[in-house]
Amino acid sequence: MGARTGQQYLDKLNAMTPELYVDGEKVTSKVAEHPAFRNNALTYAKLFDLQHDPAHRDVLTYESPTTGERVGTSFLVPRDEEDLKRRRAAFSVWAQYSNGFLGRTGDYMNSSLTALSTAKKFFSQADPVYGERIQKYYEMARENDLLATHTLIPPQVNRSVSGSQQGGGNLSAKVVEEREDGIVVRGARMLATIAPIADELLVFPSTVLRGTPEDAPYSYAFAVPNDAPGLKYFCRAGLDHGRSHFDEPLASRFEEMDAVVVFDDVFVPNERVFLLGHPELCNAWYSETGAGALMTHQVVTRTLAKTEFYLGLASEIAAAIGIGGFQHIQQDLSELISYVEIEKAVLRAAEADGKLSEDGVFLPKWEVLNAARNWYPTKVSPRLTEIIRKFSASGLMALPGEADFEAEGRPDLDTYLQSATLPAKDRARLFKLAFDASVSSFAGRESLYEYFFFGDPVRMAGAQVNAYPREALQERVRELLAREGQ
């Protein structure tokens, strides 16, 4: 098949029979037509269509090494710096289309599969068959252009104990039976973003396992179709309220549903089991395979697009209401400009300083990307929305809906809600966008999502400190202290 069109994606989605629960309703068919998922599915369909747009085809796709069909560039195994740049160019097309608000586009998990498919040495520590299985799965996903999501952590019941200890060990998803032809999984996991509109669910290691016998049933990596028997998704309340693009410009396009995943004795055949047991390898899943590096390369490309959007939005607001000449406004715009340029520099440095892995994959420099993934959630992302709120002030509240501009009060709106450069309706349209980007329920979910994207920022910071090579720098300090007469 190769790269799919949007219609092919929607047709397959409608043909699937998942078990979804949303707003008290059970949904098992025609997912792409359901109000809770329709708009987001249509947006994802547009991403698939971009692969066939002559303006983007050669960036978003390449020739499959096995079939010659055009397949997604996010499946390209990077062998040198130019391949990393090629992958980033493809990431940028999708990221700029969504302005970074889609956090689970296919290129994210595709990047993980791409790295894992080549990690022969890693999988051979357990059994080479695991590496062979995931390579075949990667090729299947590549040739069929599958959209995958993943689920990461145990249910949030008692954070003071490990997942294997919660609810007597019966809450977190675990292997309850090992059969000759596969495994049976029971329990729950959080938090599968875009689960209702995906083709596949990847269940990969996440939280650190202690390596005790009690952790063995929780040590695994596998994949299942999104409508596998016994697989259930419990969705949060939607943030797309069915309003127009005028009234909810972001939520009506980019609302990505999140869901708790329940495994009700889900059977996973052997060919879809990529690791079983070996908690020490589960803990090293992302670092030793290169998956973490390729995934973060995609994420930083996306967050750059998002930061650029906020710089553009802040600049539009400043121009619209005539505040661009004030020094405190320029200081904030300068801050946003700095964020954009730093993120660009991070990507270039990560690519230029990349190295070949033992498996022959050219990986971007991890220390650079790791700095970015620690910096953005806590330092950059909160400031983006804060600056928009500061610039907009009460303008975020003085926002009639689209219907009001078609009612008899229109003349008053035209008089009193115009801006320095825009007529009232255009000003309202701009500030509706600012509202959805900074204070709406959609914006609140985005802020939470970005803050915890890679996990608890405090733990991430600790991991960065413990892994970073600082001894040579400390030695320079000691050498200076030891100098005499200089």
The answer to whether the beta carbons of residues 347 and 89 sit under 8 Å apart is no
Annotated ligand binding at 49? The verdict is: no
The answer to whether the beta carbons of residues 110 and 91 sit under 8 Å apart is no
Q: DSSP letters of 449-463?
A: HHHTTTS-HHHHHHH
What's at 197, amino acid-wise?
A: I
Comparing CA positions, the residue from 214, 223, 225, 222 lying closest to residue 275 is 222
Give exposure, 8-41, as e/b (b: 16+ Cβ within 10 Å).
bbbebbeebebbbebeeeebeeebbebebbbbbb
Annotated ligand binding at 99? The verdict is: no
C-alpha distance from residue 368 to each of 87, 126, 166, 466 (Å): 17, 30, 36, 15
Annotated ligand binding at 465? The verdict is: no
Which ranges of 198-352 would DSSP assign to H, the alpha helix? 251-254, 279-283, 291-320, 327-352
Annotated ligand binding at 411? The verdict is: no
The answer to whether the beta carbons of residues 390 and 124 sit under 8 Å apart is no
Annotated ligand binding at 108? The verdict is: yes
CA dihedral (466, 472, 473, 476) in degrees, to 10, reads 150
Annotated ligand binding at 421? The verdict is: no
Alpha carbon distance 375, 396 (integer Å): 28
Q: Euclidean distance between the first and final Cα of the chain, in Å? A: 71
Annotated ligand binding at 66? The verdict is: no
* Tokens 């596949």 found at: 200
Annotated ligand binding at 225? The verdict is: no
Annotated ligand binding at 368? The verdict is: no
Q: Collect all residues with Cβ–Cβ distance below 8 Å to 303 and sequence separation of at least 6.
A: 100, 343, 372, 376, 380, 381, 450
Annotated ligand binding at 83? The verdict is: no
144: enclosing H helix or E strand: helix 128-144
Annotated ligand binding at 152? The verdict is: yes
Annotated ligand binding at 150? The verdict is: yes
Q: Give the number of C-alpha atoms closer than 13 A to the C-alpha of residue 274, restricted to the C-beta side.
A: 26
Annotated ligand binding at 412? The verdict is: no
Q: Which two tokens stand for residue 476?
A: 């320079």
Annotated ligand binding at 17? The verdict is: no
Annotated ligand binding at 87? The verdict is: no
Q: Which two tokens stand for residue 412?
A: 């008053």
Q: DSSP letters of 207-248?
A: SPP--SGGGGGG-EEEEEETT-TTEEEEEPPPS--S--TTTS
Annotated ligand binding at 107? The verdict is: yes
Annotated ligand binding at 296? The verdict is: no
Q: Determine how β-strand 362-363 pairs with β-strand 355-356.
A: antiparallel
Annotated binding-site positions: 104-108, 150-152, 156-159, 193, 206-207, 456-459
Annotated binding-site positions for FAD: 150-152, 156-159, 193, 456-459
Annotated binding-site positions for substrate: 104-108, 150, 206-207
